[in-house]
Amino acid sequence: MQTNDNARQEDSTVAFAHGHEAGSSVVEGIAIGRAVRCESDPEPSGVTRTVKEERVRLARALRRTRRGVKELIRLLPPGEADLFLPEVAILAELAPLLSARVDGGATVEEAVNDATSQVSTDLLLDARARLLDAVGDNQRSVETRLEGRDGDRVLVTESLTPSVVAVLPTRVVAIVTAAEGTAQTGGEYASHAVILARGRRIPLAFVPAHVVLAIADDDMMIVDTRASIASVWLTPNESILAEAQRRLEELLLGRAEEEASVAAPLEHLGLEVHVNVGSIHERIPASAEGIGLLRTELLFSAHTSAPSEVEQCAALRCAPSPGPSKARPSWCVCSMREATSRSGGCNRPPALRLREASRCCSCTPEFSTLSSGP
């Protein structure tokens, strides 16, 4: 019986590799891009250690995990940051359970898997992933996976955690993840990861596990979640791709018109709408008159070492532009302490680093007037 099940799954995987698969639409939208797979759990080291050594590994993993969650909460907007507050309490509850298992002779990896085996919330799944990454010195970063890969991307993952969604670059235009159990409608999915994706308008589809396994890095994909049944195409032909592109342009045009209508009620008040920017990939809404604040520390939040002056200059040059007739940021916050603290990097004051980047960009008029504060 198991052999027949495996054969059916292999047949389904082969069929999908040449076309279309249905899934559950969770966040509405349509996207086109090449696949980028999110890494799974790191492999256990296989090294035999003493209980004392495992205690040291656990203490370090807990310390790194707590710091990572608190840093994420600090960087996110209030509405998104609040979603992660319960994870701090989850880690506090896990700590004594993990310590007891390690004292009993388990490895840290075994203790984490045992303590989180009954997953009741995706925040517990998030804590599990963070702990396993921390103990294995692994960084499950989509940014790292995107290095050297250009263009829009569709994130493909067997397991979706809130932290992954929270730090996604804006050029990740859709998410395809494995579903467990019976398919549901979009409104019935209320995990923290889904809430984040919905708030950011990232199309999200849940599909059978064999579909996720059939997708390889850089495969061209179309994800259409505008109906209750999601449609996922792998390596679509030119006609399907052209039709999807037409639908995508229609959707983007509708959103642009909706955004433009937001500013209309404010015109008689003489008010302008400015937006804050924290990524070189962000798009400025059509209704915005300019950039209010450029969060330069967020441009390098994924770095494990201090960016060079050339990298800072390049980031400033690539920052989103509201258009030639609209306002560039009147001032920038440049705090690199977070980006350099892990590596013991540059200790120069933020204002000095900003002035140096400004000099580097002095040939570009809009950056030659940057100052260190309001």
CB 27 within 8 A of CB 204: yes
Q: What is the pLDDT of residue 271?
A: 72
CB 33 within 8 A of CB 174: yes
Confidence of residue 320 (pLDDT cuts 50, 70, 90): low
Of 45-54, 134-143, 245-254, where does mean pLDDT reach its minimum?
134-143
- Give Cα separations from 229 to 22, 184, 187, 223, 364 (angstroms): 6, 9, 13, 11, 49
Instruction: Give the residue-averaged pLDDT of 315-322.
Output: 65
DSSP 327: B
Of 66-70, 99-103, 279-283, where does mean pLDDT reach its minimum?
279-283
Instruction: Give the residue-averaged pLDDT of 163-182.
Output: 84
Confidence of residue 3 (pLDDT cuts 50, 70, 90): very low
Q: Which of 86, 233, 97 is nearest to 162 (CA)?
A: 86
What's the pTM value of the predicted model, to 2 decimals?
0.69
DSSP 31: E
Q: What CA–CA distance (Å, rounded) separates 94 from 103? A: 14
Residue 352 pLDDT greater than 80, yes or no: no
Strand partners, 206: 24, 177
Q: What is the pLDDT of residue 67?
A: 93
Instruction: Give the residue-averaged pLDDT of 251-274.
Output: 73
The number of residues making up the chain comes to: 374
CB 222 within 8 A of CB 233: yes
Number of helices (H), then strands (E), belonging to the chain: the values are: 15, 10
- pLDDT: which is higher, 25 or 276: 25
Confidence of residue 302 (pLDDT cuts 50, 70, 90): low
Strand partners, 156: 37, 176
Q: What is the pLDDT of residue 74?
A: 87
CB 24 within 8 A of CB 160: no
CB 282 within 8 A of CB 169: no
Q: What is the mean pLDDT of the chain?
A: 76
What percent of the chain stands above pLDDT 90? 40
Beta strands in the chain (DSSP E): 20-27, 30-37, 153-157, 172-178, 204-207, 220-224, 229-234, 274-277, 290-295, 332-333
Side-by-side strand order, sheet with 274-277: 274-277, 290-295, 332-333
CB 207 within 8 A of CB 178: yes
Q: What is the pLDDT of residue 336?
A: 39
Residue with tokens 């980006």: 339
Residue 281 pLDDT greater than 80, yes or no: no
Q: What share of the chain is helix, strand, coil (3-state, %, to 5)?
A: 50, 15, 35
Q: What CA–CA distance (Å, rounded) separates 294 from 352? A: 17
Of 44-53, 117-126, 349-358, where does mean pLDDT reach its minimum?
349-358
Domains of the chain by range and CATH? 13-39+142-244 (3.50.30.10), 52-135 (no CATH), 272-367 (no CATH)
Q: What is the pLDDT of residue 287?
A: 67
Residue 153 pLDDT greater than 60, yes or no: yes
Confidence of residue 1 (pLDDT cuts 50, 70, 90): very low
DSSP 116: T
Q: What is the sign of the dihedral through the CA atoms of 181, 184, 188 and 193?
A: positive
Confidence of residue 68 (pLDDT cuts 50, 70, 90): very high
Q: What CA–CA distance (Å, rounded) separates 165 from 159? A: 11
Structure tokens at 224: 């259409």
Torsion of CA 234, 240, 243, 248, to 10 degrees: 0
Confidence of residue 120 (pLDDT cuts 50, 70, 90): confident
Q: Coil, strand, or helix at residue 355?
A: helix
- pLDDT: which is higher, 147 or 67: 67
